[in-house]
Amino acid sequence: MPETSQDKERIIALMHGADKPGIVARVSGWIYARGGNILHADQHHDNENGIFFQRVEWQPAGDVQEEIKLFRHLAEDELEMQTEISTSAKKPKVAIMVSQFEHCFFDLIMRVRMGELNCEITCVISNHEKLRAMSEMFGLKFYFVPLSKENKPQAEAEQMRIIKENGADLIVMARYMQILSPDFLKNCGAPVINIHHSFLPAFAGAKPYHQAYRRGVKIIGATAHYATADLDEGPIIAQDVTTISHRNTVDDLVRKGRELERTVLANAVRWHLQKRVLAYKNKTVVFD
């Protein structure tokens, strides 16, 4: 990569489609022939399903918008790939939904401030007032949208209005303890990332940490995934676990769970913002 310039705008393309010979050669040859400088290229073949995945990041020689238009033609029309294209010039907008637990919320804010997550938090939406002061202290717009069994459709409509007004390329459920309706997920206009605890074995129902404690599990985990109509079953982006012992109380489990939730959610959001995640058939390819 001799002539790389850090300042020059980069194009990132995520593609997937039916696998066929010569795709890598065609894509890299096309970029190279037009004078582009490929910074990163990663690909994956899902041999079981015959699907090909590619992430390619490059600096074009000429006009970025023109390059994108022509590349989309190549990838979608000629190679018949589903394609998602973004550029380094545009900082993604993120809406945060949160209830009362603050650990993931605060963690995200800090990582944005430290430059670890390259995005702009455009709004914070909560069904509680608890995190208003903290949000405003950090200069974030905070929206309280009360929620009850009765008003859920109206509340979700209001949430969507707020999201559209402020803009969001990604919605992060930072321990938002409500189920988003299939309607919301379909119409909110952005992918939604959720975080939840995970156990070996799994536990259904309430108070999972108490159940895990009673069952004497030796490992607890957290999973970040895209929210789908089937709430905790969307494509998994990131997971991590930690060990526990009989010496740990339920409070220890909850604290260790918080730690996992923070780092696992942050990893999932960072990979998504860097356009490293490709979801298909309820699973993901993460070009980490």
What residues act catalytically?
232
Residues within window 103-122 making contact with its own copies, judged by CB under 8 A:
103, 106-107, 110, 113-114, 116
Rule CB under 8 A: choose which of 8, 68, 76, 102 binds its own copies: 102
Least distance CB 94 / its own copies (angstroms): 19
d(CA 39, CA 13) in angstroms, rounded, equals 12
Residue span binding its own copies (CB under 8 A) among the ranges 31-39, 92-100, 159-167, 171-179: 31-39
255 contacts its own copies (rule: CB under 8 A)? yes
Cβ–Cβ under 8 Å, residues 223 and 254:
no
Least distance CB 194 / its own copies (angstroms): 14
CB closer to its own copies, 183 vs 259: 259
SS3 content of the chain, % helix, strand, coil (to 5): 35, 30, 35
CB closer to its own copies, 147 vs 269: 269
70 contacts its own copies (rule: CB under 8 A)? no
CB closer to its own copies, 53 vs 184: 53
128 contacts its own copies (rule: CB under 8 A)? no
CA 287 to chain centre: 13
d(CA 97, CA 102) in angstroms, rounded, equals 11
Residue whose entry in the numeric block shows the structure tokens 């309430």: 206
HEC readout, 199-255: ECCCCCCCCHHHHHHHHCCCEEEEEEEECCCCHHHCCEEEEEEEECCCCCCHHHHHH
Rule CB under 8 A: choose which of 9, 34, 39, 152 binds its own copies: 39
With CB under 8 A as the rule, give the number of residues binding its own copies: 73
Half-sphere exposure of 73 (CA within 13 A, CB side): 8
Burial of 60 (0-12, 13-18, 19+ CB in 10 A): buried
Rule CB under 8 A: choose which of 5, 25, 89, 205 binds its own copies: 25
4 contacts its own copies (rule: CB under 8 A)? yes
Residues within window 260-279 making contact with its own copies, judged by CB under 8 A:
263
Rule CB under 8 A: choose which of 198, 228, 272, 275 binds its own copies: 198
223 contacts its own copies (rule: CB under 8 A)? yes
Q: Helix, strand or coil for residue 76?
A: helix
CB closer to its own copies, 139 vs 149: 139
Other beta carbons within 10 Å of 132: 15
Residues within window 138-197 making contact with its own copies, judged by CB under 8 A:
none
Cβ–Cβ under 8 Å, residues 279 and 123:
no
Rule CB under 8 A: choose which of 81, 188, 217, 227 binds its own copies: 217
